[in-house]
Copies of this chain bind each other. A is one copy, B any other.
Amino acid sequence: MTQAKARAAYERLAGRFARIGTLDEAGAMLGWDASAMMPPGGAAARGDQLAVLAGLGHELLTAPDVAADLAEAEEAEDPDPWRAANLRLMRHAHTRANALPGELVEAAARANSACEKIWREARRAADFSRVLPAFTEVVRLAREEARALGAALGLSPYDALMDGYQRGIGAADVAPIFAAYEKFLAEALPRAEAVAASHPAPRRPAGPFPVAAQAALCRRLAERAGLTFDHARLDSSEHPFCGGTPSDVRITTRYDEADGLKAVFAVLHETGHALYERDLPPAFARQPVGSAAGMAAHESQSLIVEMQAVRSDAFLGWLGPELAGTFGPDPAYEPENLGRLCRWVERGFIRVDADEITYPAHVILRFRLESALIEGAFEPADLPAAWNEGMKALLGIVPPDDALGCLQDIHWYDGVFGYFPSYSLGAMAAAQLMATARRAVSGLDAALAVGDLGPLRGWLAENVHAKASLHGFNELLRTATGRPLDPAAFQAHLTERYLA
């Protein structure tokens, strides 16, 4: 009797979450449009549209019925692990949503959308002061949200924000991993630089790289990696991203006439995200348990494609002739040179251009700055100075202007704090998953050598994608690889690729 009542309450909740998930899909599409299609004059109205959608989703999640249904559904343990996990995630979402008044959610969505537009101009002008007023408002609202969420979840304000991107992972989990990496880097970076310097400098492809040719190649490579364009689009935007919905994924990239490789790697990165979305279980579409397992998990899927598979010697041996076929013959596309180009190590200012070894340093900087910013240890106006100081300490370089410094990423200016650690947790998880996949799937590297990501994707679809949010991040890794996140695989990968 209790069982039947609990199940009925669960089904009511599932109906409601499907509606919320559908609203989220609408918001995701409008967000994609804002970055990939929208003329600048549409920005103000779009901010309103996204704010109203966010507000309505919040109302649906916090309606009085939900608390009652949750309590009723929780009265009997559901024997189905998917439904049981879904219910736990509904409770978690409800707790998060109730911690935030609807007006705060709408105000933040509006402020973020407004600030993001100004950031685009400020970055172009390398002028932090231009975005400071809008950014100060974004930080003010983010702190308010973080405090309210932290109180409801029993977490510190910053951990409460991190929890929104990678449930169950907090600063205390990340800080020691990052401290250990900082130590590894201090030794490994000079060695990697020495190794790179001991080889002839890699030759850069000469071009020209017409945008249309790049776009056609990128599309073909995404298809080769398993993405089908009956359920996807590829467009361009200021910053590459993967948006849309599982049945209609929208990936974007940025084309540079002077560099034909950047867009290729960016598109393959976004394709990794897109494949994850495409492989999520349709039976739990729009349900919390049917979503990707968080942002670190998501990043592991983009990086296992971009960094583990595509930059492997096997795949580069296939990619070289493809590049030559598109842009014309060039000795730079010879596998050996392409390999040295991909293993190039350089202390640079821009995160998205960073090599695999220095990339975590960029993340560590952002993790330390954003946690301090949210906890109130410093103010938005002090960001440029703190940034430059941090870069100096971690990589020994100081950006000449804020476009190459604290203005380079969209995240904070769009109200996203607590996301950055996901990149490096994802990189570490990708190495761990790849090591297991190599052992589990015979012929994986042989397939890569003919440009075929099918075997890898098959293993990921079964062991990661299809699991959606049934498990948390560490449990997902444990079921797939036998261990929770263990940064050893990433350091082993770097050692093999850069220090040999």
Contact = CB atoms under 8 A, between A and B. Distances in A.
Given A29-B33, A30-B30, A23 B52 contact: yes
B42 A245 contact: yes
B29 A49 contact: yes
Nearest to A44: B247
A245 B23 CA distance: 19
A184 interface: no
Interface in A5-22: 19, 22
A110 to B, nearest CB: 11
A410 interface: no
Interface in A40-71: 40-42, 44-46, 48-49, 52-53, 56
Contacts of A409: none
Contact of A42 (B22, B44, B248): B248
Contact of A39 (B38, B39, B41, B230): B230
A45 B277 CA distance: 14
A52 B245 contact: no
Contacts of A38: 248
B26 A233 contact: no
B22 A26 contact: no
A25 B49 contact: yes
A22 B41 contact: no
A378 interface: no
A235 to B, nearest CB: 9
A52 to B, nearest CB: 4
A246 B56 CA distance: 23
A26 B39 contact: no
Nearest to A32: B33
Contacts of A19: 52
A39 B245 CA distance: 12
A44 B22 CA distance: 11
A22 to B, nearest CB: 4
A22 B37 contact: no
A248 B25 contact: no
Interface residues of A, number: 33
Interface centre among A26, A233, A244, A245 (most CB of B within 10 A): A26
**How often does this chain occur in the complex, in copies?**
2
B41 A26 contact: no
Nearest to A26: B49
Interface in A412-433: none
Contacts of A33: 29, 33
A232 interface: yes
Contacts of A46: 248
Given A39-B230, A231-B39, A248-B38, A45 B25 contact: yes
Contact of A230 (B41, B49, B52, B230): B41
B41 A231 contact: yes
Given A29-B33, A30-B26, A56-B56, A231 B49 contact: no
Nearest to A23: B52
Contacts of A49: 22-23, 25-26, 29
Nearest to A231: B41
Contacts of A44: 247
A223 to B, nearest CB: 13
A233 B39 contact: yes
Contacts of A230: 39-41
Interface in A128-171: none
Contacts of A229: 39
A247 B29 contact: no
Interface string A211-244: 0000000000000000011111100000000001
Instruction: Among A40, A42, A56, A244, find the residue whose CB has the most chain B CB atoms closer than 10 A.
Output: A42
A10 to B, nearest CB: 21
Nearest to A233: B39
A230 B38 CA distance: 9
Interface in A385-430: none
B233 A45 contact: no
Nearest to A230: B41
B233 A52 contact: no
Contacts of A37: 37, 233
Interface of A: 19, 22-23, 25-26, 29-30, 33, 37-42, 44-46, 48-49, 52-53, 56, 228-233, 244-248
18 contacts: A22-B52, A23-B49, A25-B45, A25-B49, A26-B52, A29-B33, A30-B30, A37-B37, A38-B248, A39-B229, A39-B230, A39-B231, A39-B248, A40-B230, A41-B247, A41-B248, A42-B248, A44-B247
The 8 nearest A-B residue pairs measured at CB: A42-B248, A41-B231, A22-B52, A26-B49, A41-B230, A45-B247, A22-B48, A41-B247
